[in-house]
């Protein structure tokens, strides 16, 4: 859990976020144009599993249903010490954003070819689970190849 410590003058210092899971393929498969940080509505056993660092965002995406944004197909495995109250691994999880951000996202997704892709899940500075949602346009195969070539050229120029 991210904790804050106090400095000499009594102000609180923010500590780093704790990364739980990342969708590394998303930046390869999609050209991300915009991103939003959203809170997640989770059950107790889901939070315990996330604190263990177990989540799969490989097939996950976000979708609107009745003016609410949901994270779909994110796999959070069942808690090993859970009981009958354990959660379903691939249930829909509500994402929390401000109303203006939701309207902006809905407007962008109604445009042709734009998709909402979860980029990473982390615990914020206050200890709440957050999801970084990217608005992306799918890349074609030749776009992926040219993007990789550009990355390789930049890496060679830096001398890595």
Q: What pLDDT digit, counting tens, does each position of 59-118 carry? A: 888 899 988 999 999 888 887 776 777 777 788 989 999 999 998 888 888 877 788 999
User: Is residue 64 within 8 Å of residue 106, measured between CB atoms?
Assistant: yes
pLDDT band at residue 151 under the 50/70/90 scheme? confident
Q: Considering the domain boundaries, does residue 4 fall inside one? A: no
User: Is residue 23 within 8 Å of residue 60, measured between CB atoms?
Assistant: yes
- Distance from C-alpha of 35 to C-alpha of 132, rounded to nearest angstrom: 7
Residue with tokens 């206050």: 126
Q: Considering the domain boundaries, does residue 145 fall inside one? A: no
What's the first-to-final CA gap in the chain, in angstroms?
34
Q: Considering the domain boundaries, does residue 153 fall inside one? A: no
| Residue partners of 3: CB distance under 8 A and separation at least 6 | 15, 127
Distances in whole angstroms, Cα of residue 51 to Cα of each of 14, 19, 83 = 19, 10, 18
The reported pTM is 0.75
Q: Is the pLDDT of residue 33 over 90?
A: no
**Structural domain containing residue 61:** 17-22+33-136
Cα torsion angle, 98, 103, 42, 121, sign:
negative
| Residue partners of 4: CB distance under 8 A and separation at least 6 | 12, 13, 14, 15, 125
Structural tokens at position 143 = 């776009």
What is the number of structural domains in the chain? 1
Q: Considering the domain boundaries, does residue 8 fall inside one? A: no
Q: Considering the domain boundaries, does residue 154 fall inside one? A: no
Q: Is the pLDDT of residue 14 over 60?
A: no
CATH of the domain at 58: 2.40.280.10
Q: Considering the domain boundaries, does residue 159 fall inside one? A: no
| Residue partners of 141: CB distance under 8 A and separation at least 6 | none
pLDDT band at residue 15 under the 50/70/90 scheme? low
| Residue partners of 73: CB distance under 8 A and separation at least 6 | 59, 60, 61, 90
Average pLDDT over the chain, rounded to an integer: 82
């Amino acid at each position: 859990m991210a904790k804050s410590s106090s400095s000499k003058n009594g102000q609180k210092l923010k500590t780093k976020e704790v990364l739980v899971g990342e969708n590394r393929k998303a930046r390869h498969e999609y050209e991300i144009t915009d991103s939003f940080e959203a809170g997640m509505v989770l059950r107790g056993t889901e939070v315990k599993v996330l604190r263990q660092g177990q989540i799969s965002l490989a097939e996950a995406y976000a979708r609107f249903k009745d003016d609410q944004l949901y994270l779909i197909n994110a796999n959070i495995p069942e808690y090993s010490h859970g009981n009958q109250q354990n959660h379903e691994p691939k249930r829909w999880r509500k994402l929390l954003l401000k109303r203006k951000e939701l309207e902006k996202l809905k407007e962008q997704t109604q445009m042709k070819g734009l998709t909402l892709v979860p980029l990473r899940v982390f615990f914020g500075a206050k200890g709440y689970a957050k999801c970084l949602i990217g608005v992306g346009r799918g890349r074609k195969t030749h776009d992926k190849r040219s993007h990789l070539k550009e990355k390789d050229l930049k890496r060679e120029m830096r001398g890595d």
